[in-house]
Amino acid sequence: MTTTISGTADEPTLTPAARRILDAATDLFYSRGINSVGVELVAEQAGTTKKTIYDRFGSKEGLVVAYLEARARRWQAHVTDHVEQVDGPASDRVVAVIDALESWLEMADRGCGFVAAYAELSTSSERATAVVRAEKEWMRGLFGRLLAQGGIEDDGLLARQLALVQEGAVVESTAGGSSYALDDARAVMRALVEGR
């Protein structure tokens, strides 16, 4: 039996209207971009009012933060589920992150929602930027936990390198249009881990 790799946050309880708003915002923000989507469109898609958005989330920024936090929870649960199914050496569990990424990209083919949000909001929303950075930190921490569980000592360098390979795989496979990026990432990760 494998050791769990927790670290994901619990989902907050939302009213039905807040859930509809967040679901609509999630689809719109990811597909069209955060800055190009106004609260009027989110309200229309959610079948609610702008006032309800402000009542539930405080502001558009609050809704964006909720969207990013929800996306982080879904991604982290998705990766954790994939990795926990692998009972093998550290290299197999690390590579399972790319397997999770591959299935994720089948559902989210526009690339990393966190990088897109950072590109749009890094100068205008410290709260959104903090969520983006926390998600990236979670990924580095995940690799660190996987290495430790596999008995590989790491001062953080290898975990950071693995996270860098994973991020590069996202960009190269989506924006770069590379059909080989994920396989290359698996090979690089395996070589890095087995070389230790």
pLDDT (tens digit per residue) in 36-54: 999 999 999 999 999 999 9
Contact 21, 53 (CB under 8 A): yes
* Domain 61-194 of CATH type 3.10.580.10: no
What CATH code would you report for 12-58?
1.10.10.60
Q: Which two tokens stand for residue 179?
A: 């059909």
Q: What is the pLDDT of residues 108-127, one digit of tens each?
A: 777 888 988 999 998 888 99
- Alpha-carbon distance of 151 to 153, in angstroms, equals 6
Q: How much is the pLDDT for 4?
A: 41
- Whether 12-58 shares its CATH topology with 61-194 is answered no
Domain locations in the chain?
12-58, 61-194
